[in-house]
Amino acid sequence: MTRWCLAARALALSALAASGGLSLGAERVDLGAIDPNFDYHSYANVDQFRVTHLDLELRVDFEFQSITGRAALELKRLDPRATQLVLDTRDLMILDVTQKATDVLGATAKNQTIWVSRPFHLEKPDPILGTALVIELPPSKRGTEAIRIDYETLPASAALQWLTPKQTARHKAFLYTNSEPIGARSWIPLQDTPQVRATYKAKVHTGVDVRAVMSAENDPKAKRTGDYTFVMPEAVPSYLIALAVGDLEFQETGPRTGVYAEKSMIKEAAREFADTESMIQANEKMFGPYRWSRYDVLVMPPSFPEGGMENPRLSFITPTVVVGDKSLVSVIAHELAHSWAGNLVGNATWRDLWLNEGFTDYMESRIMTAVYGQQRSSMEAVLGLKSLRSGLAKLKPDDQILAIDLRDRDPDAVFSEIPYEKGRLFLDYLDAKFGRERFDAFLRGYFDHFAFKSITTEQFLAYLQENLLDRFPGIVTRGQVNAWVFGPGLPADAVLPVTTMFEPVDEARTAWLAGKLAPKKLGMDWIAQQWLYFLDNMPATLPPSQMADLDKAYGFTKSPNAEIAHSWFKLVIANDYQPSFPRLEEYLKTVGRRKLIAPLYEALMKTPSGAVVAKRVFAKARPGYHPETVKAIEAIVVPKEETGE
């Protein structure tokens, strides 16, 4: 992840919260105590106004790489004296702001929809937060108001990726949004904070050769007219508003599940994700009903920077998990689990992300156990623990705590292994201590109690205290809980995952390294997770002959499994194994998933000859990467002096 040069803003933001006005540019002196109820990554004055519904009209222009939009915001006014509405924007041209006349003129304009212009201005942009849009409004005693904003996005927008026809399988242009954590403000002016949840409707206009889909009710049978309408009847935070436009086909995989993808991928993807309905049922049995009606999956172009994004009703999924053997479908289990953790009960600020990702990782593992068995999920859990340990080794103690302090920082900094793997181990711990039956009942109650709400770490802890710790006293103390949530590292009494499935892998590797086992006899019945473990635990150096033997026996260089290829290429780079370099370069040019390419660039940069390769490949691959991936790889490949930071 990229780190920007951080400007000091925390004090200014606190002042903003207190006064409802803006005072950017104050110098940081002392951050003081965190206010858990304040979102340090939004300018929105949510204590005075709350958006409850959005009506969007979006015109997608591939030629100019721009969305022309009209966003009508329905607002609940909390403060009758407030005279400014502050919204989040980033790289947006604001053309006009109007207010629904009934709100201005009261009863006189009843039954007429007149929109009256309102004065507005944009504040000075901040490199992380973007630009506050300040709209002047008269004080009002009315409980609700409606504001309409006409705007255009700029091609530089980091939350939008515009792919040219050459960059997609079907040679048609493709657009997708990536709003988490604070990208929504760069394609919609709104209160871009997870504290606020709103329903939305949208009309999207495109060319007739493409189809638009959103994180909303999609109609798979909709004709390609270039005009598409969407309704999202459940209130969602802004980071879950998503749009994709491309040459998309649809194939059903179950009564309430299906796959959208470009034609060349649709059949393979539908086969790969055939178990989605079983996954939903497994989760419903454990944690209560699925409340979003349909669950569809959109297979993204290869440049998609994440494994998946849990956009409600329509998860966006990397094509790198379409392997042919369902070996990487834990990504689907993960995004599906977000339909409960995150999308249904979510984090109020980015400090609370662990409530979203830790719960999801825990539930992902439960789904994988239910559908594919304990052996596979235990292997995945042990691999997760391994990545947590390497994450812990790199993070300073303050960044090892679940309720991380993100003030004055890019919220991207929260996306380490901590909220995911440590969060999940905390839930594993509670599960083990209280027992499965009690803990499942607790989680079911939790999802019911906070359904369609965004909560803070402190709200969760109060609920936990009342409904688990106090209900079954003498099992876990508040001190033990606090060690998990506010302490660095892993508590000594953590319950760590174990598996016996890697023992034969260790034995086979040792025997092969000692020349006592032919490469072909290594793992006749191993599954992908065992191969990953096999490759990831090799000694630092291997002679070229052994690299060649392995590749000859298993064809790792050409592996259709992008994760196995990634582990293999790490060995290829560490051992400067030249025969695999041409394919490595191709891989870096076709895969855009950050997790699978950033470590390879990092490894290449460790030697002068590798650095030459990294720079050459990055120059060629760059136009096909997502803007966020470009930033991340740039930070690895281009020395600081060259970027001018």
Footprint on this chain of Zn ion (rule: CB under 5 A): 357, 360
The whole-angstrom separation of Cα 315 and Cα 321 is: 13
User: Of 477, 338, 482, 345, nearest to 420 (Cα)?
Assistant: 338
State the alpha helices, DSSP H only, in 515-561: 528-536, 544-554
Closest CB to Zn ion among 315 and 580?
Answer: 315
Cis omega (within 30 of 0) for bond into 582: no
Contact 289, 252 (CB under 8 A): no
Nearest approach, Cβ of residue 335 and Zn ion (Å): 7
Closest CB to Zn ion among 88 and 310?
Answer: 310
Nearest approach, Cβ of residue 285 and Zn ion (Å): 21
- Reading phi first (left if > 0) and then psi (alpha if -120 to 50, else beta), residue 463 is in alpha
Residues marked active site are found at 335, 420
Q: Give the three-state DSSP class for 455.
A: strand
- State how far the alpha carbon of 641 is from the alpha carbons of 364, 614, 637, in Å: 42, 18, 12
Q: Give the three-state DSSP class for 113.
A: coil
Q: What are phi and psi of 203, to 5 degrees?
A: -115, 125
Tokens of 216: 């909303």
Residue 34, classified by CB atoms within 10 Å of its CB into exposed (0-12), middle (13-18) or buried (19+), is: middle
Closest CB to Zn ion among 357 and 421?
Answer: 357
Show the CA angle centred on residue 475, arms to residues 474 and 479, nearest 5°.
Answer: 90
Closest CB to Zn ion among 183 and 246?
Answer: 183
Nearest approach, Cβ of residue 495 and Zn ion (Å): 22
Closest CB to Zn ion among 102 and 276?
Answer: 276
Closest CB to Zn ion among 39 and 357?
Answer: 357
Cα pseudo-dihedral 541, 544, 550, 556, rounded to 10: 90
Closest CB to Zn ion among 245 and 299?
Answer: 299
Amino acid identity, position 530: Q
Question: What secondary structure, in 3-state letters, does 291-341 show?
Answer: CCCCEEEEECCCCCCCCEECCCCEEEECHHHCCCCCCCCHHHHHHHHCCCE
The whole-angstrom separation of Cα 336 and Cα 276 is: 9
